[in-house]
Structure 1
Amino acid sequence: MNTKKHLIALDLDGTLLADNKTILPQTKRTLERAKELGHIVMIATGRPYRSSAMYYAEMELTTPIVNFNGALVHHPLEKNWGVYHEPLHKQTVDDIVEAMSNFRINNILAEVKDDVYLHFEDRKLMDVLSLGNPRLETGDLRQRLHHNPTSLLIHADEEHVPDIRSHLSDVHAEVIEHRRWGAPWHVIEVVKKGLNKAVGLERVANYYGIAQENIIAFGDEDNDLEMIKFAGHGIAMGNGIQELKDTAREVTLSNEDNGIAYYLEKTLNL
């Protein structure tokens, strides 16, 4: 396996990043070694670009990136590569906002690439979202939002999340996909139907001419499921959810134990 060029796709939170949101030195060295040997390293995250750009720069990547769980695929350094942006329809957002009045929620946010719209004023949440200095607006999304958004985030207390997700599946399944963020934020992320990290990963693999069997993907949450299934070597982190571990080809060590480095070093003989 180690004689072929591989595409290595990395989720960020709970995967590439330790719990303190840094890249551990061993993991960073191993990925640098992989790049030196001709392997292609990329990020595939649910985050917007503004809050993943610092890690892209830290690892000195020169590859396309998958943001918003596949709703935005682009190349930060090569504008001619193309921008593949598939947003939700505004009417879908209006329908969901209307429906949420019947549920216990804390807030609803719409993201148009790196612009953020909050349904309710929310200082704590705005502080979290301010990473990357997005343009922030507050007000009823049905009036404030004038563009089709890349994603919609519904923030609720943990006990209310299952009911909200059941509604989204029952009423809006034909037009949306929805995922749940890991703790401590009990957030449901909504994107356009048919989008996931695997869609973006396949686009990048085709660009580089990398066969599916030579794709290595690492993840830890339910938004990584399709990517882990798609990759020839779909690897779940030791700290990952059980459903992902059951799906993955292999389970490596946790994000706190250099799980990416551990797998790549033994698999690619780094």
Structure 2
Amino acid sequence: MSKIKLLISDLDETILKKGDVVSERDQETVERLLDRGIEVVWITGRYYDSIPKYFTENKRIPYVASSNGALIHNVKADKVIYEKYLNYKDVLDIIRKVDEKASLIFVEAKQGVFVDERLYKNEILEGGNFFETLKKQALLKDDLYKFIKENKIDALKIEAAFHDLDYRNDIYRKLRELNQFKVSATHYSNVDVISKKASKGNALLYLKNDLGLKTEEIMAIGDNDNDVAMIKEAGIGVAMANGSPLIKDTADFISDSIENDGFSAAVRKVIPL
């Protein structure tokens, strides 16, 4: 008999396939979990308004965490229950460090998602659906640094993408060495920065305490470096077969790939449905 009472899962390349598609098998697995009274929580590096409606409009699923765990919504109550911000001075510092060679920078804040013209000029390596949504929703600023400085915009997350991967790897390492922010990645070409007080792991801990659960009652599934913190905090942590080397090294076991519905395979290995 499984002890799991909470299943927390990443979205992109874990349950959400390219084209923002969730397979019928994975949808069925989610409904069976809910029918058994198991809490399901979605957690993603995406900003909230870019999350597909499948994940935010199921009233049986009250909690959705976004921006790498820096923000948690109770969608049933339609309110934010947890938020951790980067101070605007840190935002400026990060922009200064990545600005020269970044092919894209966007800043996720309470007031909206702010970008400059690079979003519309540069070819995006991958993640077409997300970036098409971003182009429709983002607020364009001629000078992102100046705008953040003048308006003192605190941020949930800053994401920068790079075509020069050697430079990306170098700036990723340097930002981590500062030990000033929480630095991770949702893709091999990008760098995500959030508050040192935020992470998917900290979001899991908040929900664990809020729901009165024990560690052994929580299962987490993810595919990338930004999922590692929650994999460590869960009683059972699972990596996707298509996951990064780091998360595979961290996980209790490795499931099948996103193409083969690895989300369902992981759940059904642990929880009889």
Q: Give the TM-score, by structure 2 length.
A: 0.87
Q: Which sections of structure 2, spanning at least 5 residues, go unmatched? A: none
Alpha carbons of structure 1 residues 62 and 142: separation in structure 2 relative to 1, 3 Å? same
2:116 is the counterpart of 1:105: no
CA offsets 1:88-107 (integer angstroms, 9 cap, x no match): 11111222222335x42223
Decide whether the 8 Å contact of 1:121 with 1:139 is kept in 2.
Answer: no
The secondary structure found in structure 1 opposite 2:183 is strand
After superposition, the Cα gap between the structure-2 partners of 1:195 and 1:237, relative to the gap in structure 1 and judged at 3 Å, is: same
8 Å Cα contact 2:85/2:155 also seen in 1: yes
Deviation digits for residues 124-151 of structure 1 (CA, Å, limit 9, x no counterpart): 5798545275341222223212220111
State whether structure 2 residue 237 is matched by structure 1 residue 237.
no
Number of the residue aligned with 1:17: 16
What amino acid is aligned across from residue 9 of structure 1 in structure 2?
I
CA displacement, residues 52-73 of structure 1 (integer Å, 9 cap, x when unaligned): 1513146554321111111111
Question: What is the rounded CA distance, in whole Å, between the counterparts of 2:16 and 2:218 in structure 1?
Answer: 20
Between the aligned partners of 1:42 and 1:162, the Cα distance in structure 2 is: 31
What is aligned with 1:154?
Answer: 160
Q: C-alpha distance in 2, partners of 1:7/1:52?
A: 21
Which whole-Å CA distance do the structure 1 matches of 2:240 and 2:55 have between them?
A: 20
Percent of residue pairs bearing the same amino acid type: 28
What letter corresponds to residue 179 of structure 2 in structure 1?
Answer: A
Q: Is the 8 A contact 1:7 1:40 kept in 2?
A: yes
Question: How high is the TM-score relative to the length of structure 1?
Answer: 0.88
Q: Separation in 2 of the partners of 1:259 and 1:60?
A: 24
SS in 2 for 1:168: helix
- State how far apart, in whole Å, the 2-side matches of 1:106 and 1:5 are: 42
**Cα contact 1:110–1:117 (8 A) shared by 2:** yes
Choose 220-229 or 59-68, whichever is displaced more: 59-68
Q: Does 1:261 align with 2:261?
A: no
Return the alpha-carbon distance in structure 2 between the equivalents of residues 61 and 150 of structure 1: 26
Partner AA of 1:217 in structure 2: A
Partners of 2:257 and 2:86 in 1: how far apart? 34
CA drift at 1:83: 2.8
Count matched residues. Answer: 263
Assess if the C-alpha contact under 8 Å between 1:6 and 1:39 holds in 2: yes
| Structure 1 SS opposite 2:72 | strand
Superposition RMSD on alpha carbons, in Å? Answer: 2.3
SS of the counterpart of 1:83? Answer: strand
